[in-house]
């Protein structure tokens, strides 16, 4: 008798049509580049300025009513929905994976990542040109200039990397993280223990208050909210999943997370601020970094935690916050 195909998991059903395209930009400083606190914030700001200046059709003053739907830059970086239940702002289909160090000198290699969610991958040519122009203006304190030397696509689930730029030509990516691939990798993870390493500040909020240590139930709640918001706006499907299904899954998964045991917590809270020329002030994007491990029945959570590696979790993901890796 032929074996029956396995039924799709909740994660496969809810995240159907979702994908994440991970890109890496390799640059060579022409002079020292110095970042303050969180490099992702400076890189996001410089990328926004380059995209707006060179590609936005109405970069200054009052814009037309349908501008956001026609302008790829505003669609990518300034999405808002006045009818959205959590307010006008919705998650941008973009995250930054900042470089490891805060200072790079002339001749050294600096690598940072940009991840595009769903159909946002089609904007790769815009990003490639924008990063090239960023090099002329410079980034960080003192606006250190650089030269773009390479663009790669990476798939952290497969540990795969592929060159996308040859001279002035940019090739189409093929290594996106997808729901079927996430399911495969999740099934390979331990069902009884998991260790997360937070590479950048994770800023989680529960009941209006900052959570300064990694609480898995809060992390799962915020991750499910983020996945839902991104899937509803960027998944490539004919029909979105009803909100009731998301709500039920979230309730069940948060309850499971509450039942897990802390094995160890080696995290620390770091104070980080992001400067804003538009607002004229610095805003806190602080969070915890380091490693934490949980033990218990992790099977239902594994796929969601794999998705979180690609989508980040918590606040300020577009500035690089909430980036973590599952330690295997």
Give the separation between CA 186 and CA 182, rounded to whole angstroms.
Answer: 6
* 62-71, 115-124, 177-186, 224-233: segment of lowest average pLDDT: 62-71
pLDDT at 29 over 50: yes
**277 — pLDDT class (breaks 50, 70, 90):** low
* Nearest-10 crossing angle of helices 124-137, 39-55: 110
DSSP conformation class of 144: B
Give the separation between CA 129 and CA 297, rounded to whole angstroms.
Answer: 46
Predicted pLDDT of residue 63: 60
Predicted pLDDT of residue 61: 54
Strands 177-178 and 193-202: unpaired
Q: Are 179 and 266 in contact (CB under 8 A)?
A: no
CB atoms within 10 A of CB 124: 20
Q: Which CATH architecture has domain 10-18+178-327?
A: 2-Layer Sandwich (3.30)
- The residue among 114, 91, 35 whose CA lies nearest residue 315 is 91
- Angstrom CA distances, 34 to 225, 285, 317, stand at 34, 19, 21
Residue for token pair 């802390």: 262
Q: Give kind and range of the element (H or E) at residue 281.
A: strand 281-284
Q: Mind listing the pLDDT tens digit for each residue in 49-71?
A: 999 888 887 765 556 666 766 68
DSSP conformation class of 91: -
**79 — pLDDT class (breaks 50, 70, 90):** low
pLDDT at 80 over 70: no
Q: Mind listing the pLDDT tens digit for each residue in 164-205?
A: 987 888 899 999 999 999 999 999 999 999 999 999 999 999
CB atoms within 10 A of CB 158: 12
For residue 271, with 0-12 CB atoms within 10 Å meaning exposed, 13-18 middle and 19 or more buried, which class applies? Answer: exposed
Residue for token pair 């936005």: 56
pLDDT at 6 over 90: no
**Domain-by-domain residue ranges, the chain?**
10-18+178-327, 19-170
Predicted pLDDT of residue 2: 47
Strands 193-202 and 324-327: antiparallel
For residue 1, with 0-12 CB atoms within 10 Å meaning exposed, 13-18 middle and 19 or more buried, which class applies? Answer: exposed
Task: Classify each residue of 58-97 as buried b or exposed e, where b means 16 or more C-beta atoms within 10 Å of its C-beta.
Answer: eeeeebeeeebeebbbbbbbbbeeeeeeeeeebbbbbbbb
Question: Which residues does 61 contact at the CB level (< 8 Å), separation at least 6?
Answer: none
pLDDT at 254 over 60: yes
The chain-wide mean pLDDT, for the chain, equals 90
**259 — pLDDT class (breaks 50, 70, 90):** very high
Predicted pLDDT of residue 241: 92
Whether 10-18+178-327 and 19-170 share one fold: the answer is: yes
Structure tokens at 225: 């909210």
**232 — pLDDT class (breaks 50, 70, 90):** very high
Once rounded to an integer, what is the mean pLDDT over residues 25-46?
Answer: 95
Phi, psi for residue 243 in degrees, rounded to 5: -55, -30
Give the separation between CA 326 and CA 159, rounded to whole angstroms.
Answer: 13
The residue ranking higher by pLDDT, 323 or 239, is 323
Once rounded to an integer, what is the mean pLDDT over residues 289-298?
Answer: 97
pLDDT at 145 over 60: yes
Q: Are 32 and 101 in contact (CB under 8 A)?
A: no
pLDDT at 86 over 50: no
Q: Which CATH architecture has domain 19-170?
A: 2-Layer Sandwich (3.30)
Once rounded to an integer, what is the mean pLDDT over residues 118-141?
Answer: 94
DSSP conformation class of 311: H
Once rounded to an integer, what is the mean pLDDT over residues 100-122?
Answer: 96
DSSP conformation class of 119: G
Predicted pLDDT of residue 167: 80
Give the separation between CA 154 and CA 254, rounded to whole angstroms.
Answer: 31
Provide the H-helix boundaries in 105-146.
124-137
Q: Are 28 and 108 in contact (CB under 8 A)?
A: yes
What's the angle, vertex CA 292, arms to CA 291 and CA 293, rounded to 5? 135
């Amino acid at each position: 008798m032929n074996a029956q195909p396995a039924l799709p998991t909740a994660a496969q059903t809810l995240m159907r049509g979702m994908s994440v395209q991970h890109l890496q930009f390799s640059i060579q400083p022409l002079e020292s580049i110095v970042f303050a606190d969180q490099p992702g914030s400076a890189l996001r700001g410089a990328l926004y300025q380059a995209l707006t200046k060179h590609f936005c059709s109405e970069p200054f003053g009052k814009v037309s009513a349908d501008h956001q739907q026609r302008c790829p830059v505003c669609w990518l970086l300034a999405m808002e929905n006045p009818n959205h239940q959590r307010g006008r702002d919705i998650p941008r289909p973009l995250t930054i994976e900042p470089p490891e160090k805060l200072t790079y000198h002339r001749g050294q290699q600096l690598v940072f990542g940009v991840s595009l969610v769903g159909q946002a991958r089609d904007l790769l040519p815009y990003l490639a040109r924008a990063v090239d122009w960023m090099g002329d203006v410079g980034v960080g304190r003192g606006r250190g200039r650089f030269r773009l030397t390479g663009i790669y696509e990476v798939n952290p689930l497969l540990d795969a990397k592929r060159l996308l730029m040859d001279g002035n030509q940019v090739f189409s990516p093929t290594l996106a993280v997808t729901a079927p691939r996430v399911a495969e990798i999740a099934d390979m993870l331990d069902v009884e223990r998991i260790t997360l390493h937070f590479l950048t500040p994770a800023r989680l909020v529960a009941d209006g208050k900052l959570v300064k240590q990694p609480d898995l139930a809060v992390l799962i709640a915020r991750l499910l909210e983020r996945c839902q918001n991104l899937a509803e706006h960027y998944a490539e499907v004919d029909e979105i999943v009803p909100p009731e299904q998301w709500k039920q899954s979230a309730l069940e998964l948060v309850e499971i997370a509450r039942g897990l045991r802390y094995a160890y917590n080696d995290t620390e809270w770091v104070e980080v601020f992001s400067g804003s020329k538009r607002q004229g002030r610095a805003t806190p994007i602080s969070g915890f970094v380091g490693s934490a491990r949980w033990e218990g029945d992790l099977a239902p959570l594994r796929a969601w935690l794999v998705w979180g590696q690609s989508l980040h979790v918590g606040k300020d993901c577009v500035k690089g916050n909430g980036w973590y890796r599952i330690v295997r």
